[in-house]
Each structure stands twice: as structure tokens, then as C-alpha cells.
Chain A
Amino acid sequence: MKTRHQNMLNLFVFLMLILFSAVVYKALFNGEQGKNWRSIAKSEKVSESYIYKNVNEQNMVKTVQMGDSGHEEGSANIVTSIVVSYRAFDTLGEILVLFASIAGVGLLMGKRRKRTVVPASIVIQTAIPIVSLLTLLVGIFIILHGHLTPGGGFPGGALIAGGFVFLVLFKENFLKKKILLAVESLAGLGIIGAAFWGTLKNGYFFFNFLPNGNIGELFSGGIVMLLYLLIGIKVASELTSVASYMIGEEETNS
């Protein structure tokens, strides 16, 4: 039973590898799409306008205004438009690095045999629900507004993981490893799926296939919001699973 499951998984990984190499081959040796991209007028590429935009001086040429539409990239935050839209492949690598480190932690940390349960003090019992609720809310806000304000998937995910760590101080066997693992893998598959969907639409990995909308609104920026939501879920579940690995699992026959 277990070997059959393993074989299915191996087949799936092999198919993903073939798809991935096809994408890389197409990007390297099929230059027709790239010419298309280079022939776009410079005024439509909003990233350059963002780079020339100056906050301090008033007499600079303002090329991008809040509420504009029709640009190539529609997120109001320049860092986000570079990190998640133009250089999304680098972000995929960062997520991979984080995943590798968490896999190492899970490999090294075994089950803990003895459990000395110290009851939490009354300060912790009173304060932790309020503090953790506030932390989770701020984290969700930062993730959802990643394309408008500083922040995004990584800081928001880390904040959500911090809120769960506070909750762990309150009640130790609160985290379930299997649920965390399922959420994390679903989010990772979602990121890869969005990338391949863009490939199917226009031939680019991580192509922005959603409508851009007006700059400065909540639902704008196309794929950026979706990707940052998935990245935030993945980072939060990974960093929380580090906490659950470090706490260890309760063994029934000690």
C-alpha cells in the first residue's frame, strides 16, 4: 500500500519535472515572445515610471497617478511589482530555500519522550488570546495589502506564525502537524499552478493573467494579490510547523 502511494508520488514528480523542463526550454529557445515583450511602448511599462518617481521633490515628472489603469503592472508598491511580478521566479527560489530548511528541521527533530507540563501563569492566560488575535489580524492585513503598502507575504506570514507561537504558549498540543503539512503543500501547489496557468495563457512562467484594475485599489495588481496570499499561507504554515516540530509530539507509550 505504501509502495504504491510512493510510486504515484514519484510519477507525479516526474511529470512535474518534464513540464518544468519544457517551460525552461521554451523560455530559452523560443525568442518570438520575448521580441513581443520588448516592442511594448515604454509608457506602458509602469515599473520604469515608478523608478523615476520621487517622493520628496514636487517638480519631478509624475508619470503614474493613483487610480490609473492600463499599465503593464498595476500594483502601487514598486517593491512588490518587482518581487512578485517581474522577478517572481526568484521568489519561488526563496520559498524553496525556506521549504528546504523546514524539511531539515523536520528530519532532525524526532519525537520527544518526556513531557514536563508547566501550567501557564495567570498573566499569560489573560493576555495571550488578545495579543495573538491582534497579531493574526495585523498579519492578515499585511498579506492582503501587500501590493499597496510595505510588507507582503513574508512579513505577514511571519507575523501569523508569531501569533500561533503565542497560542502555543497558552495551549501546547494545539498544533496538528498533518493539517499544517496539508495547508503548506496546497499553497505551494497553488503557486506552481498559477505559474503554469500563466504559461498556458501566454507562454511565460508567472505571467500576469488577471486584470490589473486601477492602481491603489484593493483588488488591483492582477496576479500579485493571489500570489502574495498563497505565499503568506505557505510561510505561515512552514514557520508554525517549525514550532510544532520543536515542541515534539506526545507519545502514548512512554
Chain B
Amino acid sequence: MQTVLIISGLLMVASSIAVIFAESVKKSAVIMGVVSLIASVVFVFMKAYDVAITEASIGAVLTTALYFWSIKRYEEQNEELTGEE
């Protein structure tokens, strides 16, 4: 129990540091999803199942999808601006 929590906490810290040093924005968005997935596993071990479900669905699915859609919009706007000039 204790070791699982410590290992997953260290994994979360390591992957949130990896978010900063990732090569592209898309990779860091995926690593953010992985962080919240590990957080949901931690919630399951702490017997908070409803919070685990919420974390997995909002943090891992919806937030990652939102990041990807906003990155896509940003890239499209950049293309438009460079195409007009």
C-alpha cells in the first residue's frame, strides 16, 4: 500500500517534470494525461472510487482532447496568418 503510493507519487513527479522538457506541445499534452491517469490509480488505492472515475474521465480524456483541439486551432490560425502575408 505504502510502497505503491510512494512509487506512483514519484512517477507522477517524474512525468510532470517530463512535461516541461518534452520536445513538442502535443507530447507534453499526452504526458499530462498520463499524470492524471496515475492520479486516478492512486485514488483507487485510497478507496475513493468516485473521485477516481472523475479524474480518469475528466483529466485523462476530456482535458487531453481539449489540449489537442486548441493546439489544432492554434496551428490553423498560424497557417492562415503566414499564408496571407
Contacts and interface: CB of A to CB of B under 8 A. Distances in A.
Contacts of B76: 112, 114, 116
B73 A239 contact: no
Main secondary structure of the interface of A (DSSP, over half): helix
B20 interface: no
Interface residues of A, number: 24
B70 to A, nearest CB: 7
A228 B70 CA distance: 31
Given A112-B76, A116-B76, A79 B62 contact: no
B62 A150 contact: no
A158 B58 contact: yes
Nearest to B47: A150
Contacts of B61: 162, 165-166
A152 interface: yes
Given A162-B62, A165-B61, A165-B65, A112 B80 contact: no
Contacts, number: 54
Nearest to B53: A155
B53 A161 contact: no
A183 interface: no
A150 B80 CA distance: 48
Nearest to A112: B73
Contacts of B53: 142, 150-151, 155, 158-159
Given A113-B80, A150-B50, A152-B50, A248 B62 contact: no
Nearest to B58: A158
Interface string B63-85: 00110011001001001100000
7 contacts: A116-B76, A155-B53, A158-B53, A166-B61, A239-B62, A246-B70, A248-B73
Given A114-B79, A150-B53, A152-B50, 4 more contacts: A79-B50, A158-B53, A165-B65, A247-B69
**CB-CB nearest 9 A-B residue pairs:** A246-B69, A162-B61, A155-B53, A158-B57, A150-B50, A150-B49, A155-B54, A151-B50, A162-B57
Interface of A: 79, 112-114, 116, 142, 149-152, 154-155, 158-159, 161-162, 165-166, 239, 242-243, 246-248
